């Protein structure tokens, strides 16, 4: 899942070298990934009214369902 998150996010930010995904442990029975991007790229990742972030979470959660996993993404 980390590779999928990195692939998507690195293609929409202006500083792809600063994108990192870290393990955030578990919360409510779901694996948590912390997505870390450059400060000026947070707007691109979140999008207007959170649309890009919602789409990213939807894609990753759908891919995780195939592996019978639950995933949450926190944008830091």
> What's the pLDDT tens digit per position in 17-67?
999 999 999 999 999 999 999 999 999 999 999 999 999 999 999 999 999
pLDDT of residue 3: 95
Q: What is the pLDDT of residue 74?
A: 95
Three-class DSSP labels, 18-75: HCEEEEEEEECCEEEEEEECCHHHHHHHHCHHHHHHHHHHHHHHHHHHHCCCCEEEEE
Q: Taking a C-beta distance cutoff of 8 angstroms, is the pair 22, 34 a contact? A: yes
Domains of the chain: 2-75 (3.30.300.20)
């Amino acid at each position: 899942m980390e590779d999928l998150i990195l692939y998507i996010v690195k293609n929409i930010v202006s500083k792809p070298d600063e994108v990192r995904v870290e393990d955030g442990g578990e919360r409510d029975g779901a694996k948590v990934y912390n997505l870390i991007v450059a400060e000026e790229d947070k707007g691109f990742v979140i999008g207007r009214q959170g649309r890009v972030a919602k789409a990213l979470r939807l894609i990753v959660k759908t891919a995780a369902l195939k592996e019978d996993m639950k995933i949450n993404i926190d944008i830091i």
